[in-house]
Structure 1
Amino acid sequence: MIRIGCSGWNYRHWRGVFYPDRLPVKRWFDHYAAHFDTVEVNASFYRLPEASTLAKWRDQATPGFCYAIKAPRFITHMRKLKDCDESMAEFLGRARNLGERLGPILYQLPPRWRFDRDRLERFLDLLPADLTHVFEFREPSWLEPEVLALLDSRGIGFCAHDMPGLATQRGAAGTTAYVRFHGASGKYWGRYSEEALAGWAEWMRAEEAKGRTVWAYFNNDIHAHAISDAKALRRLIEEL
């Protein structure tokens, strides 16, 4: 299974480019879901959504649609995975309001925080096995075989990404392959070439053949490049 979407859907600068000029904002999600079967929610990184909001997202989704949801920065950046039992219980409890529409949970760790195996292992113990968990690293010491092996042994996914200055290797772990495209020309902007996307399409098909589910999200929302690139990548995958 390969799912491709964008990192969010509520971008006002997409009006007139992706969303028709006269389409009300309250119908933007319906328009997005008519084109894609998944979306990555970044708003939860800054503020934990209310349970009622998540339930509303669940109910508005079309059959088969899935949300990837980003863990709060309080857990990943402020606490740096330490003493998070109560915070994780609250976050996951709310996330479960998405029901069958809940896809991967993304834990983006901060830059300038070096690999801490003991803290990571203790945090992994908090993660329920019935949910899909993925880690995105922004510091080079986490991008070592030891870390990927640890994630793989726990069935936890690794996020490959191309954040300028912090890009990772093209890799996967556990049962899940996950890719974030942050922009071909700079942070959150720039179209990807057909050649670049073709290489990723082949890699994703290879990971799917290994039995992994594959999720890919475009975060280059400026000028709605994410929409065009997500459609182009999906076409290339379908052609393989």
Structure 2
Amino acid sequence: MGRQDDRVHRVAADEGDLRFAPGHDDAEAGPDGDARRPCHRRSARDVRRQHRHGPLLERKELGSSRRRRVRRRFADADHRGRREDHRAERHGDGPSDERERSHPGRQARARDAERDERRLRRERRSRRVDHTRPRDAEALGAEEGGLALTVVRVGTCSWADEALSKHFYPPKLPARERLAWYAEHFDTVEVDSTYYRLPNESMVEGWAERTPPGFTMHVKAFGLMTRHPVKVEVLPEDLRAAMPVDERGRVDRPPRELRAEVFRRFLEALDPLRRAGKLGGILFQLPSYVVFKESSFEYVEWAKEQLGRDEMLVEFRHRSWLDEDNRAETLAFLERIGATYVTVDAPKSESAKNLVPTVPAVTSPTAYVRFHGRNLATWNKRGGSAAERFDYLYSEGELAEWVPTLEELAGRAQQAFALFNNNATAQDPDNPLATISQAATNAFQLRTLLA
């Protein structure tokens, strides 16, 4: 997916035999940060047909009676699934009678009503608190004389990447025992392998069994849930036949009811963590081609509805969400729907659209920060891998600069997390003959600085 290396590495057995590319984090934009666009675009006539008759069936790909039967089987998975991906377009569909649709007065009134509705939605999203100031103290458990102390819990993104497996765990430690050993040193982790393939319940049960009480696992959403390109063969077999596919074998704009079914299966597989009280948030890392616009807001809100009571963590990968003109509306929107904003530390660039500015903020009772490293030279390197993108060892001074900000974020929240996604190896600064895991080393350093 995206710019990832062609070589595919297998996650260690303790992470459930999911497959992911080196670096375990997607790299979906081209070297200049431009977005990839879906291969097929539908005409206005197709959109109208879809609105009247349900999901559009492409004859060349989906015309078989088998595909229609499979689609009908999932059509009732969620009553919200019948809402289309482009709900904003519905307002312009108008009556079915052609003469009424063509009436200029009715067209003008419909356009005015749609414009007014968009304006009201923008106003509702913006009519919120200043996210650069502390949230309501009483709601977040403040004690008399100041906010209650919230400890920043530090961990890594994945416990089974190559750098950790080779340079963090004791030599010859069986793969199945790595998570338990990790949990002796950190009390939180982010599971990123679930982005590449849906988890299964037995695998998740093993995670719950091998971690102690109080341990928190955040889980990255499967790519289809965040509108990333996904190869159809990674889906469960019974879902493949119903999915529209582009010429590269990737799922292409699936109907809403099928996407809802993917959500349902993903969340169902997490039940063991949920029952054990160890499930943290579901990380929605949006691709760089999901930009600040009405349909994007609508999709994020729909996705939040699918999660039910589970926490939604939202990370943006296009700078339009957090530029000076839009950030207040973006943060207010997340607060309104009850989603957690993910603050990121990443390279700084004025030109790359897939690099967002670092905007520390809290939109829910959870403060969440991801450290991606600051390797600007490799972030959009042509032909580079995701592993190269996140190849960066923070200095102790760079981490120390974050301490006041993390403490401030924690002061506004009931819980706070800092996760390291720099996943390569590096030379040990204290021992030139030794090799270390960047993520684990920086996580230990930051935790010491916060103590």
Do the structures match in fold with TM over 0.5?
yes
Q: Does 1:201 align with 2:411?
A: no
Return closer, same or farther for 1:202/1:80 CA change in 2, 3 Å cut-off.
farther
Structure 1 residue ranges without an equivalent (≥5): none
Q: Which residue does the alignment assign to 2:287?
A: 110
Report the RMSD for the aligned CA atoms in angstroms: 2.1
In the alignment, residue 263 of structure 2 is paired with which amino acid? M
Flag the structure with larger Rg.
2
Deviates further, 45-54 or 189-198: 189-198
Aligned to 1:120: 300
The structure 2 residue matched to 1:231, chosen from 429, 436, 444, is: 444
1:20 and 2:222 aligned: no
Shift of 1:75: 1.1
Q: Could you tell me whether the CA contact under 8 Å between 2:361 and 2:409 is conserved in 1?
A: no
Q: Is the 8 A contact 2:164 2:440 kept in 1?
A: no
**Residue 126 of structure 1: how far off its partner (Å):** 2.6
TM-score (norm 2): 0.50
Larger mean Cα displacement after TM superposition, 23-32 or 81-90:
81-90
Q: Counterpart of 1:86?
A: 261
What is the one-letter code of the residue matched to 1:171?
A
Q: Secondary structure at the match of 1:125?
A: helix
Give distance in 1, aligned partners of 2:253 and 2:361: 23
Distance (whole Å) between structure 1 residues aligned to residue 263 and residue 191 of structure 2 = 17
- Describe the superposition over 1:52-82 as per-residue Cα deviations: whole angstroms up to 9, x where unpaired: 1011111111121111100100111247897
Helix, strand or coil: the match of 2:393?
A: coil
Note closer, same or farther for the CA distance 1:125–1:27 as it changes in structure 2 (3 Å cut): closer
Q: 1:167 aligns with which of 335, 345, 356?
A: 356
- Structure 1 CA distance for aligned equivalents of residues 291 and 209 of structure 2: 40
**Residue type of the partner of 1:92?**
L
User: Structure 2 CA distance, aligned partners of 1:156 and 1:49?
Assistant: 23
Q: Which runs of structure 2 are paired with 1:134-145 in the superposition (5 Å)?
A: 134-143=313-322, 144-145=327-328
Worse overlay, 29-38 or 204-213: 204-213
Q: Is the 8 A contact 2:373 2:392 kept in 1?
A: yes
| Gap runs ≥5 in structure 2 | 1-150, 229-251, 379-388, 426-436
**Partners of 2:253 and 2:405 in 1: CA distance:** 31
Aligned to 1:155: 338
1:15 shift after superposition = 4.6
**Among the aligned pairs, what percent are the same residue?**
34
- Report if the CA contact (8 A) 2:267-2:307 is conserved: no
SS for the counterpart of 2:171 is coil
Question: d(CA) in 1 for partners of 2:260 and 2:222?
Answer: 13
What is the count of residue pairs matched by the alignment? 237
Take 2:341 and 2:440, find their aligned partners in 1: how far apart are those partners?
A: 24
C-alpha distance in structure 1 between counterparts of 2:369 and 2:445, whole Å: 15
Write 1 or 2 for the structure with the bigger share of strand: 1
